[in-house]
Amino acid sequence: MLKIGFLGAGRMASAMVKGLVNSGHYRPESIECTSLSGQSAQQLAQEAGVTFIKNADTILKEADVIILAFKPKSLGDFSAPLTERRDSPLILSILGGTSFHSLHKHLAGSYSLVRIMPNIPCEVGAGATLYTLEDSLPKEHKSTLTQFLNALGRSFQVSEEDLETLTWVTGCGPAYFYEFVEAFIAATQKAGISEAVARTCVEETFFGSARLLATSNHEAAYLRGQVASPGGMTEKKLKLLEENNFRNLIEKLVADSHK
Ligand SMILES: NC(=O)c1ccc[n+]([C@@H]2O[C@H](COP(=O)([O-])OP(=O)(O)OC[C@H]3O[C@@H](n4cnc5c(N)ncnc54)[C@H](OP(=O)(O)O)[C@@H]3O)[C@@H](O)[C@H]2O)c1
């Protein structure tokens, strides 16, 4: 049984830990987590049935897979060599906007590093996780990585440059979606509908539309056309989006502001 250790137990680590456990491929006893104050890690341990570890060194010395799940600014907390183990453990960094170059510069020691960019739907096995590898990654680590990523949903290998760009879609995308849902619920309420009814109608409409897109073999443009008949009301509303630079706004969300 591989030992999985999380350094950081915040929002993303929590979704990943729950995703791994929910997948049925990782037993809670095989997962450990720690955090700076210990507070978030204790809470996660309680919620997911995994083990709280007080000292990050224990994870760094013993885990087979170590996930760096803190904020990039916390990299400076690790000034001594990260690990001095002969077995060169597999380290997965989920740190947004933090290149291999920068990680290696901050984190001395002996380890194999993979950058991954998960998203919070991984909690229910529906994540879209990006990953990028270094040429030196040993074969045995590759199979460990595949097993780990499969437990979280679908995964896509990309170049490091594309990972930075796609982070604005996969990493941040869920937040855009939830903002969209919230805005629709608020607008529906403003139009006089009760909150409960607005919430159910909006959520079910978007879930249903996403499921149809995922299962029908049709592209979004075709499905949109199935709703917006020429000259009809929906087409008029879509025109409103166009007139208000909707696509331009989306371009701004996806444009890589790390560059
Ligand atoms: N949230 C997302 O949807 C998302 C998506 C993709 C990638 N990411 C990446 O995931 C990372 C974490 O983001 P988040 O949203 O989960 O942040 P978060 O909720 O603020 O969690 C940060 C965690 O890091 C811990 N921490 C801070 N310094 C530490 C240290 N020296 N050693 C061990 N743990 C330490 C904190 O511990 P305390 O309990 O002490 O506060 C907390 O558990 C970021 O690098 C971000 O780029 C996030």
Query: 173-254 belongs to which homologous superfamily?
Result: ProC C-terminal domain-like (1.10.3730.10)
Q: Assess whether the C-beta atom of 13 lies below 6 angstroms from ligand 1.
A: yes
| Dist. CA 2 → ligand 1 center (Å) | 23
- How far apart (Å, rounded) are the C-alpha atoms in residues 189 and 4? 45
Q: Residue 221 Cα, ligand 1 centroid: separation in angstroms? A: 37
Give the count of beta carbons closer than 10 Å to the beta carbon of residue 30: 19
Statement: the pTM of the whole predicted model exceeds 0.75: yes
Element holding 2 (H helix, E strand): none
Name the residue at shortest CA distance from atom 47 of ligand 1: 96
pLDDT digits (tens, 9 = 90+) for 97-156: 999 999 999 888 889 999 999 999 999 999 999 999 999 899 999 999 999 999 999 999
What the block records as the tokens of 93 is: 């960094």
Alpha carbon 191 to its chain's center: 34
Which residue(s) pair with 66 in the sheet? Answer: 5, 91
So where are the chain's domains? 4-159, 173-254
> What is the CATH number that goes with domain 4-159?
3.40.50.720
**56 touches 63 (CB < 8 A):** no
Q: How confident is the model at residue 77 (pLDDT cuts 50, 70, 90)?
A: confident
- Mean pLDDT of the 1-20 span: 97
Query: Is residue 9 classed as helix, strand or coil in its secondary structure?
Result: coil
**3-state secondary structure (DSSP) of residue 157:** strand
Mean pLDDT along residues 200-216:
97
